[in-house]
Structure 1
Amino acid sequence: MASDDATMDGFGPSHTFGDPDPVTGSIPIIARRTDPSRRSLRQQGPRVARTFGVILAGGVGTRVGLKVPKQLVKVAGKTILEHTVTVFEQAPEIDEIIVMITPGWESRIRDLLGDRYPKVGAVLAGGETRNETTRLAIEAIGSDDAKLIMHDAVRPLLDPQIIADCVTALDSYAAVDVVIPSADTLVEVDDHDIITAIPDRSRFRRGQTPQAFRLGVLREAYGRAARDYSFRATDDCGVVLHYMPEVPIKTVTGAEHNIKVTYPVDLYIADRLFQLRSAGTPTYGTAASREDALRGKVFVVFGGSYGIGGEICRLAAEHGAHVVEHSRSSTGLDIRDAEKVRAAIEAAASAHGRIDAVIVTAGVLKMGPLSETDDDEIRESIDVNYVGPIHIAKASYPHLAATGGHLLYFTSSSYTRGRKSYAVYSSAKAAVVNLTQALAEEWTDERIKVNVINPERTATPMRTQAFGDEEATTLLSAEAVAEASLDVIASDATGQVFDVRLEPAEA
């Protein structure tokens, strides 16, 4: 670890420059937390106005039917709160992040976030209501010239562009709301639920978060509200609108997928939306930049003698990685044998001193009606396609935990819906996807990334054996899938299904 060469008193955390990330090669800036009981967000001297991301995480999860705050539920390998904090951490417009959490959960949230988010300046207890939580955040910040971007922690799918639009709008306006048009007809009813009016929906919008403010204006609005014993408001723009009607509230466009996780179905929808986001694999753009991320890493590839696995071995080696390859045809290793898998992993770690990535492309494709498939073929299909990956995960765990490494599996498009003549194969591949998501959650504290590649039809010897010769232009190349796989390995993604698709032919 490099020595500490920059510290800040009062407001900001002290920083150290960490060792290169084991996957990306980037150098993280690590914030050392000070004692939260002595930490003050108030300015200690003259300073340029700052932009604060205030993440409101005071929900308790009762409507989702949970015993923990809903922002701590895991979706796509991370807690909802981590997803939300990540968006603000990566937004260049945000200088500092404040997390307002359910009282009593502060220390657990500090432990959860750790030093991975240098912009997080404080984790503070919120109030009993949304408005009380905002008031506490206002008191903590202190500087009236600051900009505040207030966001619900349980909206983890926020687009960075929305943050940028809010910050830009604050250059001209003192209050900003994020809204989307209403696609549904709106009706007004009386006390007996009888429709009394159907307004023109073209002038109506649905409010989301973030909401953004110049701090001085929000402070004044809450000051006026405090003198009103009948004060009630469901959001912060409502406070400004009611108590400072002279202040125009600018709107910026939100997004339909910027959903708020409130009910059980929202968890399912959020998980699927994260999967859609991951339909395209991350890319490093050029072979040179990918090489920078992979050089010197140690890869163990099971099923690497030919096809996709063979291409991964070749490309990884070309990019400067150390590759250990195993398969039944090359080294005689059958992943159904847990002891031999463990011995292979230990030998690779002993020879190279570490393991940064384990990739499992080994598989068998047995087709035919289940009623006509003998028991040995069923057992082989389940053991190779599902039980083998479990053996590899168990053997790899301590080594990947030591490096914050990556476990990469492969599935088939048939995992989403079982197909005729693929009953055992499809169900085993669906199990691999569930295994991926479960391990990503189990291993998040060790910072192990676990993902699965779902390639479109690919030109491999296994496919040729099953389907015969096919038109080459209709198939992905094994090299293209291998390149996408290495880009996933070089990323920080976890718990995701990455679809690799053939680019459509130009007209």
Structure 2
Amino acid sequence: MSAPTVLITGTSTGIGLETAVGAARAGWRTVATMRDVSRADALRRAADAAGVADLLEVRRLDVTDQASVTACVADVVDAHGRLDAVVNNAGAGHVGTLEQETIDDVRAVMEVNFFGVLHVSRAALPHLRAARGRLVTVSSVGGVVGQPFNEAYCAAKFAVEGFMESLAPLAATVGVTVTVVEPGAVASEFVTNVGVDRDAAVDA
């Protein structure tokens, strides 16, 4: 029987990178995806160091582009014959408050952190049903408790939580387990990548 296959989004840094290496170390055929595959060097080095490079492959996937998602999922199933698990990890931090940003800014946060999760989940679910697999979504403590200057990000994560809680019992009837992970602060590049000007943010 072939090794189970997992697709993980947002694996260039942080939780996604560590999850991809950990899954490969556990014996899973790991498809590590990211929007910009030129940023895969750190992941490849980590996989080499862990001795699991042969179980890990890097593919391009932009969660905000439905065509990219559909093509990637189809290619993975075509290459490996199965998809046993998906980890929705891709996301983008955002700091701001309503009077200092536009509605388009908020929409952009929702596109990555909420609709991106839906794009990937929708494409994967038929294959997860066939495998009686698992859909894992990395949310945040910001999906449980609202935080000042984090309104759009928290709104997106609250939406993810509600969506997945609602999907879980239905998915269970067709053999798919839905899991939400709510990490707190993690020492990674995630916050650095937000690029916030703290002084500007509080200078109302």
Q: TM-score, normalised by structure 2?
A: 0.80
Higher helix share: 2
Deviations 1:156-188 (A, max 9, x none): xxxxxxxxxxxxxxxxxxxxxxxxxxxxxxxxx
Residues 1:428 and 1:300: Cα distance change in structure 2 (over 3 Å): same
Higher strand share: 1
Measured after TM superposition, the shift of residue 332 of structure 1 is 4.6
Report what 2:181 is aligned to: 453
Measured after TM superposition, the shift of residue 467 of structure 1 is 8.3
Deviations 1:69-102 (A, max 9, x none): xxxxxxxxxxxxxxxxxxxxxxxxxxxxxxxxxx
SS at match of 1:455: coil
Report what 1:312 is aligned to: 19
Report what 1:325 is aligned to: 32
1:378 paired residue among 99, 106, 119 = 106
- Structure 1 distance, partners of 2:189, 2:140, is 16
Report what 1:352 is aligned to: 80
Report what 2:132 is aligned to: 404
Report what 1:423 is aligned to: 151
Report what 2:141 is aligned to: 413
Deviations 1:331-384 (A, max 9, x none): 553201112111111111111010110001100111011211134321210010
Report what 1:59 is aligned to: none
8 A Cα contact 1:301 1:323, kept in partner: yes
- Structure 2 distance, partners of 1:338, 1:381, is 16
Segments of structure 1 that go 5 or more residues without pairing to the other structure are 1-19, 21-294, 469-507
Report what 2:46 is aligned to: none
- Structure 2 distance, partners of 1:465, 1:302, is 17
Alignment length, in residue pairs? 175
- Structure 2 distance, partners of 1:369, 1:315, is 36
8 A Cα contact 1:364 1:384, kept in partner: yes
Larger RCO, structures 1/2 (Cα 8 Å, 6+ apart): 2
Report what 1:297 is aligned to: 4
Counterpart AA for 1:366: H
Pair member with larger Rg = 1
Report what 1:334 is aligned to: 62
8 A Cα contact 1:366 1:377, kept in partner: no
Measured on the aligned residues, the alpha-carbon RMSD in Å equals: 1.9
- Structure 1 distance, partners of 2:61, 2:189, is 19
Q: TM-score, normalised by structure 1?
A: 0.33
Counterpart AA for 2:22: L
Counterpart AA for 1:397: L
Deviations 1:198-230 (A, max 9, x none): xxxxxxxxxxxxxxxxxxxxxxxxxxxxxxxxx
Q: Does 1:434 align with 2:141?
A: no
- Structure 2 distance, partners of 1:438, 1:368, is 29
